[in-house]
Structure 1
Amino acid sequence: MKNIFYYLAIFLGLALTSCEPMEDIHDEVNSKLDNERAVGDITYTLTEDDYDDLGLNFPNFNSVDDAKSLLPEFLADNYPNYGSKSSANITFDIYAPLPTERSLIVYEVTTEDYDANEETERFDNFDDEDQIFDFLEGKFPDLENRTLVSLTYEFYDGRPNTFNNGFLFVDGEFTMIPGLSDEEYNLLGERFSNFSNEDEADEKLPLILKEKYKFENLEAGDIKPIMFKLFVTDEDDVDGDGSTTDRTTYSYVKYFVYNGSSFEPYGNTLSQSIQFGNIDGVWIPDNTIRYTLAGSDYSVVSSTLMDVYAGPANNVGRFQSFDVRSSSSNYWNPSMLIEAMNVVLDNLMPNAEEGQQYVITFAAYNGAVVNQELSLIKLNGEWIINE
């Protein structure tokens, strides 16, 4: 019996003393595996199937924070061979609806309305947009949220005009939504000042929007609202005749987004991108920008540091590479390289925010020209090594 306990004690002792070496071995293996994984840059746009795989009901996220929470697992599953210092720029859609009408008021400003305001009574028209908003606030003081007022009024801007524009009441304020004139409906092939259905509106409104904003410096992603009309059943008795079965003209708000060459219906989603970095095998959202020095960057370093490091600065400007041989009279030691990268980044991004990160690839000469990297972060106004 004593022998049994003796051998058991030996076995337990071996097991206990073996734990720590085994953990060290596992850590070493994991580290080696991570070092053997690829280091690369991923650029990817999510597809509808990707959103399904993420367990989402729609092909978009509700917020950027949701994307930051779910995408690391997506990257780990789809790019298992990418290791530390890899980066990924992922483009995705977020749900970003814009307000439209829930109820409608159709109103034409009368002579009595103009006469009630000393600024408009003389000529029975508006001549300043502020007058329109003042009128609306006085005329409709208790509107429900997202009420659209389809307003017809006279406006003088050097010549008299009759306009029909929308004014959408959202969160206590009116926003003007430009409408179409009778002439614009005719230009689009309509006999009357309305469309037959929404599909027709979607097809034709981009044409008039491009004309309306032809003198504006549009950029891809710009969103423009417009009010359009359909001839529909008057379910809300908008015309006030007591019937909800007749047909009349209703006004609607719709948004269109400029894609760089034309307008298309806005689908209530915005395209966003997030940069992720791989640290110790884990993908985390980060703001790292990877940048490779161009010829002009070496020239900036050379001219800026010529009075400080004459030989090395002249050499880097001439050969477009940093001499990293410690035996060379043109040697760029680690602290000098950081100083050089400060010159580059301050020139490249003078207004970079605190915490901005860069991975800089530069040409180095160690007997042959090779690429080397420095990982930097901006802290206290200075670019330092990002550990």
Structure 2
Amino acid sequence: MTQLLNYLYPSAANRVLVSLTYDKYDSGVTLRGVEDGFIYSNGAWEKSMGITLAEYAAMGESRAQFSSKDEALVKIPVFLKNKFAYEAPVAGNIQGVMYKLYVTDTQDVDGDGSVTDKTVYSYVVFYIYDGMNWIKYENTINETIQFGHDGTSWVPDNTIKYTLIRKDDYAYMASQLTGAEYTGLVGNLATYGDFDYNWTKTQIYFALALFLEHLDPNAAEGQKYTLTYVIYDNGENDYQTSFIKTGGVWVVN
């Protein structure tokens, strides 16, 4: 998907939003007309989940749009709670959602030369899971400062904990691991959203370090991450690995 977006929008402005409709093959089923949002941010495309016509209908909408921003912000957290009810989201997970409003066409997106008529605009809003509910993400989070011992004294611990999103984050790694060593391995990443028993620790750590470059390309020297990910080996199991940015690269900590 990233390659397609780069081809279609080779000179995309920072923070531009693209609403993309495509067919998606998922678990043996082809989903027609999937529509998601992609924001170009700091040189990379970030995906935000779209809402289907059926999902709008379930929220009481007769069309694939909300009547107002206020309505959208009330209904979307309920929608997320229902959608991820069986996926056990982890507190701190952040989800971008693209939604649509019928508003005045101030930017003439329909190209008819008028900026006073109305048309459908796409917007993205981010929500963070607090352990029970999805709440609007304001980019400011109150947290208790944690400390770690460096062998001499207690110092603030800047470790960020992140759980890889299935299947998006795994699909990104699959798209980047193009070497011959990974030819027979990457299929399960994109298809199932996990590693499997055929991967060595070294290969997994390399893939995760590659993902961290994508997740936080501007991370400062010394930044730490603890990643939670899934390995399938006689069942799905969660694993955690800690990394630190040292000498400009991510290494296992």
**Which residue number in structure 1 is paired with residue 67 of structure 2?**
196
Name the CA distance, whole Å, in 1 between partners of 2:111 and 2:81.
Answer: 35
More strand by share: 2
Task: Give the drift of 1:266.
Answer: 1.5
Q: Which residue, 122, 128, 151 being the options, matches 1:354?
A: 151
Q: Which residue, 26, 46, 66 being the options, matches 1:175?
A: 46
Letter in 2 for 1:255: F
Name the CA distance, whole Å, in 2 between partners of 1:246 and 1:149.
Answer: 22
Q: Which residue, 18, 35, 39 being the options, matches 1:149?
A: 18
Residues 116-131 of structure 1: pairs in structure 2 closer than 5 A: none
Indicate the SS of the match to 1:210.
helix
Name the CA distance, whole Å, in 2 between partners of 1:355 and 1:220.
Answer: 32
More helix by share: 1
**Which residue number in structure 1 is paired with residue 6 of structure 2?**
137
Q: Do structure 1's residue 226 and structure 2's residue 97 form an aligned pair?
A: yes
Indicate the SS of the match to 2:141.
strand
Residues 1-387 of structure 1: pairs in structure 2 closer than 5 A: 132-157=1-26, 158-161=28-31, 162-274=33-145, 287=147, 353-357=150-154
**Which residue number in structure 2 is paired with residue 340 of structure 1?**
none
Name the CA distance, whole Å, in 2 between partners of 1:139 and 1:267.
Answer: 31
Aligned residues: 153
Name the CA distance, whole Å, in 1 between partners of 2:70 and 2:152.
Answer: 48
Q: For residues 330-353 of structure 1, what are the alpha-carbon distances to aligned partners after superposition, in whole Å with 9 as ceiling and x for unaligned? A: xxxxxxxxxxxxxxxxxxxxxx54
Provide the identity percentage: 41
Contact 2:128-2:137 within 8 A present in 1 as well: yes
Which stretches of structure 1, 4 residues or longer, exceed 4 Å deviation after superposition? none
Task: Give the drift of 1:251.
Answer: 0.7
Contact 2:20-2:35 within 8 A present in 1 as well: yes
Indicate the SS of the match to 2:73.
helix
User: Mean Cα displacement is larger for which, 257-266 or 216-225?
Assistant: 216-225
**5+ unaligned residues in a row in structure 2: which ranges?**
155-253
Task: Give the drift of 1:258.
Answer: 1.3
Name the CA distance, whole Å, in 2 between partners of 1:178 and 1:223.
Answer: 11
**5+ unaligned residues in a row in structure 1: which ranges?**
1-131, 276-286, 289-351, 358-387
Letter in 2 for 1:225: G
Letter in 1 for 2:50: G
Contact 2:23-2:30 within 8 A present in 1 as well: yes
Task: Give the drift of 1:356.
Answer: 4.8
Indicate the SS of the match to 2:38.
strand
Letter in 2 for 1:194: Q
Q: TM-score, normalised by structure 2?
A: 0.56
Name the CA distance, whole Å, in 2 between partners of 1:209 and 1:250.
Answer: 21
Indicate the SS of the match to 1:146.
coil
Indicate the SS of the match to 1:273.
coil
Name the CA distance, whole Å, in 1 between partners of 2:7 and 2:86.
Answer: 34
Q: TM-score, normalised by structure 1?
A: 0.37
Name the CA distance, whole Å, in 1 between partners of 2:152 and 2:142.
Answer: 24
